[in-house]
Structure 1
């Protein structure tokens, strides 16, 4: 989350930009088309500040760090998921989150259960050893 807090005038200025989807007190949501265009321009050699200025952003309002960090994040997403990664919202309710356990095969469930049993048995053995060491230490004193 940004340390910059936008006032009402700054929010209206940012909302007027065609590349902005929405603005809150601290965050700017950009249109996916802008993100894709910005990543491609950046890969062709343009810097983040130049890209944001050419697309109508006042860096005194949003800050140079926001432009740089946003572009870095978009570039990583683009490399991992391609254009589709920037078109889809992967946060919040629509997010996939952890893999679902509903679609797990019985073999996989058994494998996970056996691994958990093995872990718990090892933990129990460790606790037994600790208790024995504590008993021995009490006898000495």
Structure 2
């Protein structure tokens, strides 16, 4: 979470910018179009400070670190998901995160089951050894 806390005046200034969706005390939500444009300009050689300044952001308010870290995240997202990644919501209930069990092939299910069996057998063996050691310790005293 950001160390910068925006006051009411700063929030109003940031919300007035066409490149923002919303502004809270600590965060700024940018428009997908701005994110795509910023990444493309950055890949062409422009720096984060220059991109944010040219698009109407006051770096004394948001800080250069916030601009740098935002652009770093956006570049990563752009490499993984392309332009469409900025327009699709990948968080929450409707996200497509971990694949559902029904989407996994039978071969994968079998592999998973075998690995689980191996793990449980090793765990059982460990518990047996532990119980035996406890029994031996009780006999000694």
Query: 1:26 aligns to what SS in structure 2?
Result: coil
Deviation (angstroms), 1:138: 4.1
Q: Which residue of 2 aligns with 1:18?
A: 18
Distance 1:118 1:93 in 2: 33
Q: Which residue of 2 aligns with 1:34?
A: 34
Distance 1:5 1:102 in 2: 45
Q: Which residue of 1 aligns with 2:72?
A: 72
Distance 1:61 1:39 in 2: 21
TM-score (norm 1): 0.89
Query: 1:102 aligns to what SS in structure 2?
Result: helix
Distance 1:131 1:110 in 2: 31
Unaligned runs of 5+ in 1: none
Unaligned runs of 5+ in 2: none
Distance 2:26 2:97 in 1: 25
The two structures, once aligned, show a CA RMSD in angstroms of 1.6
Deviation (angstroms), 1:70: 0.1
- When the two structures are aligned, how many residues end up with a matched partner? 141
Distance 2:104 2:76 in 1: 30
Deviation (angstroms), 1:125: 0.4
Distance 2:109 2:93 in 1: 27
CA offset digits 1:13-58 (Å, max 9, x no partner): 1111011111122111111111111111111111101110111001
Distance 1:113 1:17 in 2: 54
Query: 2:101 aligns to what SS in structure 1?
Result: coil
TM-score (norm 2): 0.89
